[in-house]
Amino acid sequence: MLPKPNLSMSSPIDCFERLPDSLVLRIFDTIGDAKALGICCVVCTRFRSLVPEAGFFVWQRELPRKYLDHEDLWNDDDFLPDPFFKEYRDEFRKIYSRYFRQIIQSHGFDIDVYPGNAKAAFYVPYLDFEREVDMLMELATYAIEEFNKTSVYKYKVIKIETVNFMLSRYREFFMTVKVENLTLRTPWATFRIRARKGFHGEKIVSFCRPKV
C-alpha cells in the first residue's frame, strides 16, 4: 500500500513554495478575493517576494468597507489628490463616504462621484472611454460570447453605456452594456461586465450577468 499523504499544516505551504515562479504569478493574476490573497501572502514568503504589491492589492480590496466601518484609516497622502487640499479634509471625508458606499452597493459599476487622483481613489469613472472603445468592445463581446455558451438565450453586444476601471496591477473594467436578445428579438437588455486584458493579451472575465 502507498503511504498516506502527510496532511499537516506544513504540507500545503511546502507544496506552494515548490511551485514555479510563473505559476505563482499566474495565481496572483487570477485571484480577486482579498482574503484569499491575504492567506497566500501569509503562507508563502516567496509569494510576497515575487509580488511585492500584493499587500497594496489587499489594502485596496478591503479599504471601502473598512472606511465605512469607521476604522481610522485616514492619511492625507493616501486620500487627498493634492496636499494643498488639507483645509478641505472634512469635505473629502464626506466625498469618500459616498464614493465607497457606491462602490460597495454597485460592485464598482455605478459611481457618480470621484475624489480625484489619489491613492485611495482607485475606482475611476472612465468618462472618455471612447478612446479605447475598440478594446472595450472586444472585451464585452468576448464576455457575452462566453455567457452565451451556458445560456438558453443568445445575446449580442450593441453598445457600451458606461465604464469604470480599477487601478491595481492592471486596469480592470466595469462595463454597463446594452445587448440584443437574438433568440427572442425583444428590446435591448442591460448587462454588467467585469473584465480585463491579461499580461499576455488574454481576455479575462470576472463577471458577466444581466443587470438586476
Q: Is 170 part of any domain?
A: yes
Tell me the per-residue pLDDT of 1-43, one tens digit each, with 9 for 90 and over: 444 444 444 444 455 566 666 666 566 656 555 455 555 555 5
**Across-strand partners of 164?**
125, 174
Domain end: 122, 141, 159, which one? 122
User: Residue written as cell 491613492?
Assistant: 119
Are 138 and 56 part of one and the same domain? Answer: no
- Sort strands 171-181 and 189-197 into parallel, antiparallel or unpaired: antiparallel
SS3 content of the chain, % helix, strand, coil (to 5): 45, 20, 35
- Which pLDDT score is estimated for 118? 94
> Is 78:119 a contact under the CB 8 Å cutoff?
yes
Residues 115 and 140 in one domain: no
Last residue of a domain, one of 107, 122, 137: 122
Cβ within 8 Å of residue 172, ≥6 positions away = 165, 166, 194, 195, 196, 206
Query: Domain check: are 19 and 52 in the same one?
Result: yes
The answer to whether residue 3 is domain-embedded is: no
Q: Which domain holds residue 171?
A: 129-210
Q: Does 169 map to a domain?
A: yes
Q: Buried b / exposed e across 158-193, counting CB within 10 Å, b at 16+? A: eebebbbbbeeeeebbbbbbebbeeeeeeeebebbb
* pLDDT tens profile 119-176: 999 999 999 999 999 999 999 999 999 999 999 999 999 999 999 999 877 789 999 9
Which pLDDT belongs to residue 120? 95
Q: Judge if 112 and 40 occupy the same domain.
A: yes
Residue 8 lies in a domain: no
pLDDT at 188: 94
Question: Which of 210, 206, 209 is closest to 171 using CA atoms?
Answer: 206
Could you give the CA distance from residue 174 to residue 86 in angstroms, rounded to a whole number? 31
pTM: 0.76
How confident is the model over 62-81, as a mean pLDDT? 92
**H or E element, residue 32:** none
Pull the grid cell for residue 69: 466601518
Chain segment 75-114, per-residue pLDDT in tens: 999 999 987 789 999 999 999 999 999 999 999 999 999 9
What does the pLDDT read at residue 47?
A: 58
**What is the predicted pLDDT for the residue at 149?**
97
User: Are 148 and 61 found together in one domain?
Assistant: no
Which of 89, 122, 155 finishes a domain?
Answer: 122
The torsion angles phi and psi of 184, rounded to 5 degrees, stand at -95, -15
State the Cα–Cα distance between residues 172 and 198, nearest whole angstrom. Answer: 10
Q: Is residue 95 part of a domain?
A: yes
Same domain, 102 and 160: no
Q: Are residues 144 and 81 in the same domain?
A: no
Q: How high is the pLDDT of residue 33?
A: 52
Helix (H, G, I), strand (E, B), or coil: what is residue 86?
helix
